[in-house]
Amino acid sequence: MHQININLRFKMMIILGFYILGIAVMSLISYDDLETTEDKIEILELAYSLNNIILEARRYEKNYLLYNEVEAFQENKRFLDQARDIGEAILVRGGKLKIEPILKDLDSKILTYQSAMEQLSRQDNNTSPEYLTVVEKLRDRGKEMTEKSEELVTFERSQIHSILKMLKKQLIAWSILAMALGIVIPLLMIFGIFQPLSIIKKATEDIAHGRFNRIEVINTRDEMQQVIEAFNTMVHELERRQDQLVQSKKLSSIGTLTAGVAHQLNNPLNNISTSCQIASDELNTGDIALLQRMLRNIDQETLRARDVVKGLLEFSREQEFSLRSAPLAETVRRAVRLVQSQVPADISMVIDVPDDLLLPMDSQRMQEVFLNLIINAVQSIGNKGAITVSASKDEQSKEITIEVHDTGPGIPLENQGRLFDPFYTTKEEGQGTGLGLSVVYGIVQKHHGDISVKSEPGAGASFFIQLPLSPPVS
């Protein structure tokens, strides 16, 4: 199934778009509520005016009852007409709001009250029972009209309070939503951008220390995934180049060992030559025992020469990296045999590695490790001293610790931090490439181990290699 790849910029635009849309929706809803509140406040002001006008009409009602003035009756009628006009204005502004039934009921009571006032104005006798009945009816209608206008004010006031409460709740809700968006969006950026970048940053730091670790590809289908894939390609290429570097250094070491190997081959070849001459001279005498002894000697020296050449060929041969359980002591001894000719007679070699100590390792590459460390130790010591290769097993940590110690002058503290950097060397120009310990570091890291140095001026130097007893689960 075809996957749609969305670039990082588009994702950021989508996130920002949702954030802006959320703010816009919140703003529109809040604006609409504020407009409703504004309308309600204006209606409340009209309701207050309506209530005051009705109270004024009632005041002129009382004046008319006391003084029977025509002017009071006319003012009462004028205020009632004004009250009805305001009621109509409220109804027009309020539309089909809940206030409509109250307004219609109030208008009906105003009309009933007006009818009672007109009926009262037609009465001539202020003391007749009919007059008193009309007055009582007028007062009841006036009371109902006043109460209804007050109900209108109370209703509108309660409506505004309800809207204000709703606005408060909305404000809290919008604030929570805004804070949530303010948290979620940075989290999306952290997990989508900054977290992969921090993983890449850590991986580059590992590369700086010689650990070529690939990164798990995050299926984001954007530039970040492409960066991680490109990074893994770079790591693969660096591993390949490191292998080439190891092979290059190995070939360089072979050049160094060639003179020593020639010396090692010279002795068995001389012995073979001597044995052949003796055998030739004694051939006519018929001394079978002597001839057999010379042939055995020739055979042993031939095997000895073959082992020297075989060790050099095995060391130089390039092969795929693979971890196999092998005796550590034998690997150390092979490295010592190869470099033996480079070790002066005054420098003793001590191997303190148990024969039964098995380790998952690439024997050829570990041989390169010991070879480089021993050559460095020899060059550090000079003419007289000792080199010790020892190993111990820690069952608790499931690790093997290997120590290569020399009795040389030691390594200054300021140089120890850069010993494993590529092309760093303390030797004079032309005397070293600065690749030996860098290659050692890379090989140890490839074995999922670690290497460190401990040295004090005048007390020699010790290189400690820690390797796991069992191969890591991939």
Write the pLDDT tens digit of every residue in 297-308. 777 768 666 666
Mean pLDDT value across residues 408-419 = 78
Same-domain check for residues 173 and 124: yes
Same-domain check for residues 342 and 471: yes
Nearest one of 408, 401, 417 to 377, comparing CA atoms: 408
Same-domain check for residues 374 and 291: no
Question: Residue 369 maps to which CATH number?
Answer: 3.30.565.10
Same-domain check for residues 72 and 187: yes
Residue 399 in any domain: the answer is: yes
Write the pLDDT tens digit of every residue in 327-365. 999 999 988 887 877 788 888 989 999 998 999 998 888
Residue 267 has pLDDT above 80, yes or no: no
Residue 201 in any domain: the answer is: no
pLDDT, position 23 = 77
Range of the domain at 20: 8-194
Write the pLDDT tens digit of every residue in 244-264. 665 555 555 555 555 555 555
Q: Between residues 386 and 457, which one has the greater pLDDT?
A: 386
Confidence of residue 432 (pLDDT cuts 50, 70, 90): very low
Q: Are 361 and 432 in contact (CB under 8 A)?
A: no
Q: Which residue has the tokens 């005041």?
A: 59
Same-domain check for residues 100 and 12: yes
* pLDDT-above-70 percentage for the chain: 73
Residue 313 in any domain: the answer is: yes
Same-domain check for residues 313 and 348: no
Residue 298 in any domain: the answer is: yes
Cα dist. 220→15, 108, 190, 231 in Å? 15, 70, 13, 15
What is the chain's length? Answer: 474
Same-domain check for residues 291 and 344: no
As given in the structure block, the two tokens for residue 406 are 């020399």
Residue 200 in any domain: the answer is: no
The residue among 318, 348, 374 that closes a domain is 318
Same-domain check for residues 173 and 238: no
Lowest mean pLDDT among 183-187, 205-209, 263-267: 263-267
pLDDT, position 332 = 92
Same-domain check for residues 224 and 268: yes
Domain count, the chain: 3
Residue 285 has pLDDT above 90, yes or no: no
Residue 227 in any domain: the answer is: yes
Residue 204 in any domain: the answer is: no
Same-domain check for residues 336 and 305: no
Question: Residue 156 maps to which CATH number?
Answer: 1.20.120.1730
Same-domain check for residues 164 and 311: no
